[in-house]
Amino acid sequence: MTVLRALFFVFVFIPVLVVVIPAQALINALRLPFWNVLPRVFHRVGCIFLGLRVRVVGQPATGRATLLVSNHISWTDIVAIGAVADVTFVAKREVGDWFFVGMMARLQKTIFVDRTRRSDAARTSREMGAHMAGGNAVLLFAEGQSDVGTHVLPFRSALVGAAQHAMIEAGATDVLIQPLTIAYTRLQGLPVSRVERALISWVKSKSLGQNIREILSGGVKDVTIAFGTPIPLGEQADRKAVSKAAETQVRQMLVALNRGHDLSVAGR
């Protein structure tokens, strides 16, 4: 960790946490409608601390039941996305047990899923459906695991289908699936090399501690969050076809961004 980053952590990041944590806990306990304001502040401060410069292409669908489906590269994806969009994340159950991270995830109303129990998918989908039926957005890392950021793994359609039924049951008649692509395009102003991608991404061979050390010791990273074209998800829609269409959009946007194309100019 650099000296400037350490000073920022002590004199800015920690004071923000001291204010945000109890305030957000109170907001959640009282079920106030502006629960998403402080998480956005926290993530924006987190981007500064982690050296993430976030650029947004497109815009998230708002005011409607929306399931965002995204590729996944690193735990820093959550900070970058949370800084520009009001979303509730779906995370594996183990995250809820991590020191500090689990507490912060719960404050942002993260929905946890136990991937070792098939029966838990029904509970997860009900929570997702209830949240989206209120006009909120839920984000699902649809690959089911993280990757290095050079390609997109096949999307898992099971939770999309489960959420489809849950949203209809919860009263959401107008549901959207919106593809979202996250791409780490530059490091210290230069295009990210394959070796450097391994330092940014979080793969199974690394411990969380090792990856955190690599991120904190690294330079400033340019991150692009690209919102794709929303896809209607009706009661009779084919979940596998919708998942595949979303996966194709995410893959096309990731390839374009990694090649240095400007999606905001070239279109998608």
For the chain, give the percent of residues with pLDDT over 70.
91
| For residues 204-233, average pLDDT | 86
Cα→Cα distances 145→61, 165, 172, 232, Å: 25, 24, 28, 25
* Pairing of β 88-92 and β 137-141: parallel
Residues 143-157: tens digit of each pLDDT:
988 888 999 999 988
> How far is the C-alpha of 244 from the C-alpha of 230, rounded, in Å?
13
Q: What is the pLDDT of residue 264?
A: 67
Q: Is the dihedral of CA 103, 106, 110, 112 positive or negative?
A: positive
CB within 8 Å of 191: residues ≥ 6 apart: 185, 260
Q: Percent of the chain, pLDDT > 90?
A: 53
Mean per-residue pLDDT, 176-199: 92
pLDDT of residue 268: 47
Q: What is the DSSP letter of 119?
A: T
Taken in order of first residue, the domains within the chain and their CATH numbers are 51-266 (3.40.1130)
Inter-residue contact 84 to 39 (CB < 8 Å): no
pLDDT in tens, 89-126: 998 888 988 888 999 999 999 999 887 777 677 788 77
Taking residues 34-61, report their average pLDDT: 95
Q: What is the mean pLDDT of residues 59-87?
A: 91
Return d(Cα 35, Cα 26) in angstroms, integer. 9
